[in-house]
Amino acid sequence: MPIPGVTARPLARTYDAVVIGAGIQGLATAYELAKRGVRRVAVLDSSWPGGGASGRNGELIRSAFSSAEWITLFDASLKRWHQLSRELDFNVLFNPSGYLVLASTEEQYARCRADVEVQARFGLRTELLDQQAVLDRVPALNPDAVVGAVLQPAAGFAHHDAAVWGYARAAARLGVEVHAGIEVLGVTVRGGRVAGVTTSTHDVSAPVVVNAAGAAAGRLAGTAGVELPLDMARLEMLVTESVAPFLRPAVAALAALGYCHQTSRGEFVGGTELAVPDHTPSLNGTYRLLRDMAQKFVWLFPQLSAARVLRHWAGLITQTADLSPIVGTAPGVDGFYLSCGWVYGFVGAPAAAAHLADTVCDGRLHPTIAPFDALRFAEGRPIREGSLVVPAQSEGPGPREVAS
């Protein structure tokens, strides 16, 4: 079955804009550029749409964070998720069944309480739940794992493949060419301005290039002389056989360094992390993480002890020290734009892509993405987001949250 939106026509030698990477960030940005009247847009990917982290993530969607920067960006995205199936004319299977950030200690619960106070100041509808209120909503949880939680009723999850396909097909309807199996080898720069890209087939000229290349983003930025503070990290997930419904909201469990949800077909989907990030550039699953996920999820939901695992996989992301993405203009190279370093790229795509397209077309950095610029590290402006499953490197020892 052909993937919607992928073209069979040969790659031209000139475009108005080239987007590197056919994950959800790249496809959404191409779609938004075409909506704004950019006529000849090509998306290039070395594999296929969604073949990277966009097709391997946990699908979770929320905006209940603790910093002004994250709340502003991700709530704009959450509002878009509620309308995305209608806009794209493709069912992305968004399920607004709620999202619980689960506290298992008094310290974590105090953190949740502080987060709810911040969220209220930004107009978010969230609730601080005590132990009994959490167990009333999710009786399958182990009471020993529950002190309380933050609930965001309007959040939830969507299907990663459906979202990627929806964006690809909608972009193609607007004239975007999505080319699979074409590797971008480098970004061409002349006189301080982007000139195009070198690909595995031939050179392509374009006055605008967007780097949304996921795990390859740092390397490709380097070919343009732009050094980004990105580290590659490897994450793992699993899915079980279908079981009777027991989990309506999505859950991020702080004590388990984990995140999970149950699909409408009954599969349990989730991932956990270890205390030290894995920088291995491999897509092979490991027994170590499989055991970690099994032990933690059975602790959270004892009834899963009898469930069989259907599939277990790995994915690669790039991350920054503050775990926030790099979105906006590339320093020192006119016409070169960045959308990379995402660990929460699935949820953030609808708003980030729209604001990046505004930036390209208006020539001014959109204020919502301005704090996420590439210069914030050199200028001492890291974003301090404290509601993630694990702390950022800038906050102390520990890895990062998964690409949810």
Residue 402 has pLDDT above 50, yes or no: no
Q: What is the mean pLDDT of residues 349-356?
A: 98
Q: What is the mean pLDDT of residues 363-368?
A: 96
Q: What mean pLDDT is reported for the chain? A: 94
Alpha-carbon span 293 to 402, nearest angstrom: 13
Matching CATH number, 17-55+161-229+322-383, of 3.30.720.120, 3.30.450.40, 3.90.230.10, 3.50.50.60: 3.50.50.60
pLDDT in tens, 171-222: 999 999 999 999 999 999 999 999 999 999 999 999 999 999 999 999 999 9
Residue 8 has pLDDT above 50, yes or no: yes
Q: What is the dihedral of CA 56, 390, 370, 86, to 10 degrees?
A: 40
pLDDT band at 393 (very low <50, low <70, confident <90, very high): low
Q: What is the mean pLDDT of residues 22-43?
A: 98
Alpha-carbon span 376 to 378, nearest angstrom: 6
Token pair listed for 280: 């291995």
> Percent of the chain having pLDDT more than 90?
88
Residue 159 has pLDDT above 50, yes or no: yes
Alpha-carbon span 221 to 236, nearest angstrom: 26
Q: What is the mean pLDDT of residues 4-22?
A: 95
> Are the CB atoms for 390 and 400 separated by under 8 Å?
yes
Residue 329 has pLDDT above 70, yes or no: yes
Residue 397 has pLDDT above 90, yes or no: no
Question: What's the confidence (pLDDT) of residue 161?
Answer: 94
Question: What's the confidence (pLDDT) of residue 389?
Answer: 79
Residue 306 has pLDDT above 90, yes or no: yes
CB neighbour burial string for 252-268, b if at least 16 within 10 angstroms, e if fewer: bbbbbbbbbbbbeeebb
Class of 94-156+231-319 per CATH?
alpha beta
Residue 228 has pLDDT above 60, yes or no: yes
Residue ranges covered by each domain of the chain? 17-55+161-229+322-383, 94-156+231-319
Q: Which amino acid makes up residue 389?
A: V
Residue 355 has pLDDT above 70, yes or no: yes
Residue 342 has pLDDT above 50, yes or no: yes
Give the DSSP H/E element, type plus range, for residue 231.
strand 231-242
Question: What's the confidence (pLDDT) of residue 167?
Answer: 97
pTM for this entry:
0.94
Q: What is the mean pLDDT of residues 269-287?
A: 89
pLDDT band at 62 (very low <50, low <70, confident <90, very high): very high
> Percent of the chain having pLDDT more than 70?
96
Residue identified by tokens 């708003």 is 351
